[in-house]
Structure 1
Amino acid sequence: MRARPEADQLAARHARPRLRPGRLTEIPDSKVGQLLTLLDRSGLPQQLEDMLRGRPGPPGVPPRTVLAGLMLAVYYTGRATISDAWRILHFRLQPAARAWLGIPESPPSTARGCIAASRRLYRGLDRITTVLDPARCDRRRRMVQAEADIHSAVWDGPSGREAASRLQRLANDLVLVPVRLAQQRGYLRHWKGDVGVDATSIPVLARPDSDRSGTASVEITAGWHYRGGSDEGIFGYSATLLVAAHSRMSEQAAKGRRAPSYPQLCLGLTLDTPTVRTGENAVAVLGRLADLRPPAGTCAADRAYTGCSPEKFQVPARRLGFRLALDYKAADRGIQGSWQGAVLIDGSLACPQIPNALAQATHGMDDKTFRQRLDELKPVVAERLPYFLKLKQNADARGTVRLQCPAAGPSPSVNCPRRERLRPARPSASGPPQTVLRLADRRSRASHPAARPTVQLPDGEWIDPPRKDELPAVCGASAISVPADAAGDLKTAKFRQDSHYLTLAWERIYKPIRSHNEGLNGRLKGAELNIGEPLHRRAPGQVAQTLLVAIMVTVGNLDILETWLYERTGSRLSDTEFESVPAPQDFDPRYVLAPLGTGRHPPGNL
């Protein structure tokens, strides 16, 4: 065997992982066992072993060992790098944990031994990313733009979308394990099913495409992520995060009651090219919640999701059983469309004869003017409320709701001569009921017809009343059906929401949920754990970045759960609680650990 050139040997010595002897504290077997249990209960190691079975080449380090090392590295250092995983696996584990993961009893004692051990871990991660990547390419060099376009186009093809869907499913299997643990132990019993969805930037180390040299980025599927209101982009990926949230209780409901307490965990993750498949990625993580069987709640999303095509986000979200709370851009406020004669105003269907000054009160203002005049708009928005259609029947399995005229029903909110002409009240044998008005009772005063606004009809309708079939359907029918897709009117399907925009009820729903999104981003991009720091996840490629971010979010979920439990009870998660996490349906019992704390060798596939 030929000796390596001196330059290569020098480069190898400089490239080997560095040790900091003062930081080499031992990790207890109990914590290793807990993290291994979370990893095994996700089914991810087992699925990766099945995919790698039969592939050519030496088996190398098992995926279970690679992923466990990365999880330990994130938990103890906040970094998802192979170098940190190598230090922990070979220098910080006790004998029992080494046996669980197939790590040699004694750490490497020479520089060449250290390099060989670290490279085996690198090759183990490379085997995982290779089997999951639909367009594998050499990411140690920049390709010409035409060659990179061929590889990136594979991700948008049928095989690429299938591979991306499998990758996101595996990532969410891991992210949801702490959530299933919290649900199993009853820590989420006060969560009512409200969720917030948001996309956050995931910067990468690679530089973007170069027009000067004609070369593409090493991250061939990355792009520019723009924060709301910013013109400066961040090169990398966009991570769609779903958070368990809740709306703010009304003042009456809050009297004598405490706010619901539960760990605000991340319920789903997708990593994709920025501004591509924004709505589809949100629906993908919403769909995964069906496995948890949460109660039907509200999904709040910012303007990036309001701008999606309705068949990509709004319609599927409604069909999944979620109510929507949305915000609008300046050009989308005011009258947005109509449905069966009812006017769509800022996401709510209203009487077709609503005064135009009320309907267009929010139209034509830019965002800055809109924010400055928000207090002035509140009284005008309150005057709209009586004209909005009333909910007669909640959404069915297909997301269709039934709405009725505001002048209909036992508690009308407006007086409408047209409604009285088309559907007169049936005369009673004892004569008209006597209305008793209690002036001291605010509710009695508000329900009196004199306190309700009266719909102003066109002048010609008083002289020549049109027939019932000549009027809008909402005026003649007892109620109208509004399906989730609102076939024939994309504006209704796109902009309709379930709370009246800018009202106090909307603010109590939308603003707290959005603040929970920002709170989750703050926890996952904090000082100790930061998914937004590219130095903490160096491995290139969308597959590697997805897996590393998923591991970091999983550890972040575990930290949120442990912190929440300790602050309220002063206790920590026990080994028994980790063992109670439900396993996947096709889980291989060979991956189940022995009872934690016993020191026995687990019957894993080592």
Structure 2
Amino acid sequence: MYLQTAHRVVTESGAPELLHKWKQADRASNAGAKPLIPLTAVLTLFVAHALAGRPITYDELASTLRLRLDHDERVLLGVSHKPGTQDQWYDRAWAAVNRVIALVDPYPGPRNVILRGGAWESFRDRTQTPAYAANTALMLERFDELINAVVQASISLVPPDIWSAYEGSIAIDATRVRITGRPNAASANGDRSNPDPLSGRYTRLGSHQGLGAGTDEAAYELETAVSIWNRPGESDRFPSLVTAVTMHNPGQLIGHGARLIGFHKRLGFDRFLVCVDRAYNGGTIETFHVPARLAGAELVMDYQRPELGLQGWYEDLFMVDGNWHVRWMPWDMVMAGRDLEELNEKVARARGALKAASRDEEGTRTPEQLKEDADNRALVDSAPELRVALLKLLHNRSRYRMKPHGLPDADGAQRYTYPNEDRPLVDATPLKRRQSVTIPMLIPETDAPPRTEAPRPSGSPRKPQPIRFLQKFAHNTPEWDAHYGMRNLVEASNRLLKKGTRFNIADPDQRSGRGYAFTYLSVALVVVADNIHRIRVFFHAEAKRADDASKPKTRARRRKDANGNPLPRRQTTNTGPPR
């Protein structure tokens, strides 16, 4: 059953045709014996092993090829009926896997030794050559094309009437994929400590790029795009699946968010939401925001505190906390979001200081410490009232918010209509009277408008491009909270992929090959198996919902008669007037 399902997905993905095309392009001639294990069979076996909960190791692959396949399954895969020992099938599996890897490996090099000294310097210099860099770019394109073709083929198992309910919104995030061995030196000049010489270091902090701490781990990061509900709470209309993947060294995610969006768009979506964390919107606009906008994506994202408040301007408009507002909005409203974040941070620090002070023995606090305790207690006590006032300012921003008119154009421009001038809290002073304005995707570099009450964000001498902050919903509103909360779906998805009782991509012992190519191939095909599992779980839950709906709503009485049967319910009496 697992093998047939895996074969169907791999065959319908177009992967066999891609592998054949690349094989023909890379080989000098068609001479040579026919392989005992075809290239397509490797992908199928990887998916089938993941579905069956078996490790993707050469020893397990050899056991499957030698013992677990019957005649019809060998014919289905095109695997030779030639007999052999476990060691012989191990070698055959190793050779077949490496034939696939040779067609897509962006970082070819030694993986059976740890490079040190001159050996590492020689290989490192080779990776800096134009020829190696060109091969890396080509192979990354091939690899992502192959993997995402199979991932998206697994989605085709969802019946069209179910999948058609999905409107295309996704959340994207990265998750750690550990590899065996110690992490390499943080410096490119340092000797290697891992048989995979180009693998990175992972840390849980910051951008996740390890810089040499003793707690760093040898790892890659798998980027996934996961389908989210059309609207918060719609959890029963379609399954939440991984729609696109990429992989990279920890912290080196530049360009990968845009690649995920590009592959996701191939499923046929023209306009869709993308929920991201700060790691993505903190990148450059050329590598994420602009490609995402041109692909039809509208972002839902959060900001660091210094980024809140005034984020850009265009003619008589201000970009404030991700949305366009008229420039005559009161300044305390412009800064309300930043003030609220600052208040929350101060209160958190005050609570922490008070908790630490409570551990000191009575009578040991100095007068200065007692005054600090009193100030912290006063801040904590006044915080609710201050928070209510700031939230009221955030709520009143809606009177000054520009209203999107239709969808963004193909070039990323968006038309907006002005808010109702009868409802502002201060007099309107537009530069010129008009009902609407079209804001281009990129704003010309101009000076700040007159009477700006604060310097440019972060003290930048140049005008910021508002697209870096632009998002669909007003930040910190209930609508934004509900949609940004759906980013939990990608975090839950990555957590399930690493769960030990499921597919367990967190355990490097579940795969025996070394290097970026084997790791990416095995982990991504585990994602395919997980998609299949999620589809199965969705329909089991759907069947249970239908079964529960068909059951009577009235439960049996707890009291029973002498024979142990529930007592009948009392019939409703007619208390109306006689007729």
| Secondary structure of residue in 1 paired with 2:435 | coil
> Which of 39, 61, 65 is the aligned partner of 1:85?
61
User: For residues 105-124 of structure 1, what are the structure 2 equivalents within 5 Å?
Assistant: 108=84, 113-124=85-96
Partner of 1:545: 519
Q: 1:393 to 1:213 in 2, by over 3 A?
A: closer
| Secondary structure of residue in 1 paired with 2:514 | coil
Whether the aligned pair in 1 keeps the contact of 2:183 and 2:217 (CA below 8 Å) is no
Whether the aligned pair in 2 keeps the contact of 1:323 and 1:498 (CA below 8 Å) is yes
Partner of 1:314: 289
User: Normalising by structure 2, what TM-score?
Assistant: 0.75
Offset of 1:503 from its aligned partner? Answer: 0.4
Q: Return 219-228 or 148-157, whichever deviates more.
A: 148-157
What CA deviation, in whole Å up to 9, does each residue of 1:141-178 have, x standing for no partner? 12234234335446983332122111111110111111
Q: Which runs of 5+ in 2 are unaligned?
A: 349-382, 446-462, 546-579
- Does 2:435 match 1:478? yes
Whether the aligned pair in 2 keeps the contact of 1:343 and 1:349 (CA below 8 Å) is yes
Q: 1:148 to 1:204 in 2, by over 3 A?
A: farther
Partner of 2:226: 243
Partner of 2:39: 63
Whether the aligned pair in 1 keeps the contact of 2:270 and 2:296 (CA below 8 Å) is no
Offset of 1:33 from its aligned partner? Answer: 2.1
Q: 1:368 to 1:137 in 2, by over 3 A?
A: farther
Higher RCO, 1 or 2 (CA under 8 Å, sep at least 6)? 1
Distance 2:98 2:346 in 1: 51
| Secondary structure of residue in 1 paired with 2:426 | coil
Residue type of the alignment partner of 2:9:
L
Distance 1:570 1:83 in 2: 39
Whether the aligned pair in 2 keeps the contact of 1:73 and 1:81 (CA below 8 Å) is no
What CA deviation, in whole Å up to 9, does each residue of 1:386-409 have, x standing for no partner? 12222234312222111233245x
Q: Return 188-197 or 208-217, whichever deviates more.
A: 208-217
Offset of 1:368 from its aligned partner? Answer: 6.0
Whether the aligned pair in 1 keeps the contact of 2:182 and 2:217 (CA below 8 Å) is no
Offset of 1:103 from its aligned partner? Answer: 4.2
Distance 1:114 1:548 in 2: 21
User: For residues 214-225 of structure 1, what are the structure 2 equivalents within 5 Å?
Assistant: 214-215=191-192, 217-225=194-202
- Does 2:6 match 1:41? no
For these two proteins, the number of residue pairs brought into alignment is 472
Residue type of the alignment partner of 1:43:
G
Whether the aligned pair in 1 keeps the contact of 2:222 and 2:245 (CA below 8 Å) is yes
Distance 1:389 1:99 in 2: 63
> Which of 502, 505, 521 is the aligned partner of 1:531?
505
Offset of 1:552 from its aligned partner? Answer: 0.5
Q: Return 224-233 or 499-508, whichever deviates more.
A: 224-233
- Does 2:402 match 1:389? yes
Distance 1:370 1:46 in 2: 59
Distance 2:410 2:347 in 1: 38
Q: 1:186 to 1:505 in 2, by over 3 A?
A: same
Distance 1:510 1:454 in 2: 31
Whether the aligned pair in 1 keeps the contact of 2:330 and 2:426 (CA below 8 Å) is no
Whether the aligned pair in 1 keeps the contact of 2:6 and 2:44 (CA below 8 Å) is yes
- Does 2:499 match 1:522? no
Offset of 1:120 from its aligned partner? Answer: 0.9
Whether the aligned pair in 2 keeps the contact of 1:300 and 1:324 (CA below 8 Å) is yes
Distance 2:112 2:289 in 1: 41
| Secondary structure of residue in 1 paired with 2:266 | helix
What CA deviation, in whole Å up to 9, does each residue of 1:1-38 have, x standing for no partner? xxxxxxxxxxxxxxxxxxxxxxxxxxxxx442222111
Distance 2:343 2:528 in 1: 37
Residue type of the alignment partner of 2:224:
L
User: Normalising by structure 1, what TM-score?
Assistant: 0.71
Offset of 1:265 from its aligned partner? Answer: 0.6
Distance 2:342 2:15 in 1: 48
Whether the aligned pair in 1 keeps the contact of 2:111 and 2:197 (CA below 8 Å) is no
Distance 2:77 2:479 in 1: 53
Offset of 1:236 from its aligned partner? Answer: 1.6
Distance 2:470 2:205 in 1: 22
Distance 1:397 1:371 in 2: 45
Whether the aligned pair in 1 keeps the contact of 2:172 and 2:257 (CA below 8 Å) is yes
Partner of 1:581: none
Partner of 2:548: none
Distance 1:267 1:505 in 2: 25
Q: 1:99 to 1:133 in 2, by over 3 A?
A: same
Q: 1:213 to 1:359 in 2, by over 3 A?
A: closer
C-alpha RMSD over aligned residues: 2.9
Whether the aligned pair in 2 keeps the contact of 1:325 and 1:506 (CA below 8 Å) is yes
Q: 1:342 to 1:188 in 2, by over 3 A?
A: same
Q: 1:63 to 1:267 in 2, by over 3 A?
A: same
Partner of 1:7: none
Offset of 1:248 from its aligned partner? Answer: 4.1
Q: 1:370 to 1:282 in 2, by over 3 A?
A: farther
Offset of 1:76 from its aligned partner? Answer: 1.1
> Which of 291, 307, 330 is the aligned partner of 1:332?
307
Whether the aligned pair in 1 keeps the contact of 2:3 and 2:45 (CA below 8 Å) is no
User: For residues 217-296 of structure 1, what are the structure 2 equivalents within 5 Å?
Assistant: 217-227=194-204, 233-246=216-229, 248-249=231-232, 260-278=236-254, 280-294=255-269, 296=271
| Secondary structure of residue in 2 paired with 1:238 | strand
Distance 1:45 1:200 in 2: 29
Q: 1:103 to 1:293 in 2, by over 3 A?
A: closer
